[in-house]
Chains A and B, each alone.
Chain A
Amino acid sequence: KAGVTQTPRYLIKTRGQQVTLSCSPISGHRSVSWYQQTPGQGLQFLFEYFSETQRNKGNFPGRFSGRQFSNSRSEMNVSTLELGDSALYLCASSLSGQDYNEQFFGPGTRLTVL
């Protein structure tokens, strides 16, 4: 079974631009979570989607948004990029998010904002 895939793996943008990152979960997984990883703040929860609905949201500004499609693939969008948005963005999928379902992480997208 294929793992979680994220595209692109690396991205370079300039301040003010917007970016869209994609995450394809493991087949059959319906929950997709996104995390931001930076050296200063560590790993922080962005949001979680289940069955095309945002079920949880972390403490990030409205510039960070996401969506999930009917095939469970998810995208996150960051508008008006700032230098501080440079980070590794990880997505994780699980069966349902209820009880204990292990989260499987993708390899991440490294975003650099210049």
Chain B
Amino acid sequence: AQTVTQSQPEMSVQEAETVTLSCTYDTSESDYYLFWYKQPPSRQMILVIRQEAYKQQNATENRFSVNFQKAAKSFSLKISDSQLGDAAMYFCAYRSYSGGSNYKLTFGKGTLLTVNP
């Protein structure tokens, strides 16, 4: 079974600064997806960024980028130019590449990000 670990329960960053959230995972599969989701106080889960394991290039979405280290099974999220609206709980998640019976998301425990003005 796959596991996802987020070792930082809480992080804080100053507005306009950069912060990196850590995530490690364990799997015996070679093909899979990794995601970062954001859950603000409204509780609506929002996809921030995804990474396909077979792609060596790190994914980037505007101010959000990842550092994907497949051999180390590490998947960190970097938020640049942090904004007050980035304050939320961030979840790292894993999904098997094959759909069908493997289709489910396995989440880490989350990292609560605070952005200070």
Contact = CB atoms under 8 A, between A and B. Distances in A.
Nearest to B42: A107
A43 B107 contact: yes
A45 B91 CA distance: 14
B103 A97 contact: yes
Given A42-B108, A100-B33, A102-B47, A55 B42 contact: no
Contacts, number: 57
Nearest to B52: A100
A101 B52 CA distance: 12
Given A42-B107, A43-B107, A45-B105, A97 B99 contact: yes
Contacts of B42: 107
Contacts of A33: 103-105
A88 interface: yes
Contact of B103 (A55, A104, A108): A55
A56 B101 contact: yes
Contacts of B45: 90, 92, 105
Interface string B73-112: 0000000000000000001000000011111111111100
Interface residues of A, number: 27
Contacts of A97: 99-100, 103
A56 B43 contact: no
B44 interface: yes
B104 A108 contact: no
Interface of A: 31, 33, 35, 42-45, 48, 55-56, 58, 88, 90, 92, 96-108
B100 A58 contact: no
B52 A45 contact: no
A102 B37 CA distance: 12
B91 to A, nearest CB: 7
25 contacts: A33-B105, A35-B107, A42-B110, A43-B105, A44-B107, A48-B103, A55-B101, A55-B103, A56-B102, A56-B104, A88-B43, A90-B45, A97-B100, A98-B99, A98-B103, A100-B50, A100-B52, A101-B99, A103-B47, A104-B47, A105-B45, A105-B46, A107-B42, A107-B43, A108-B43
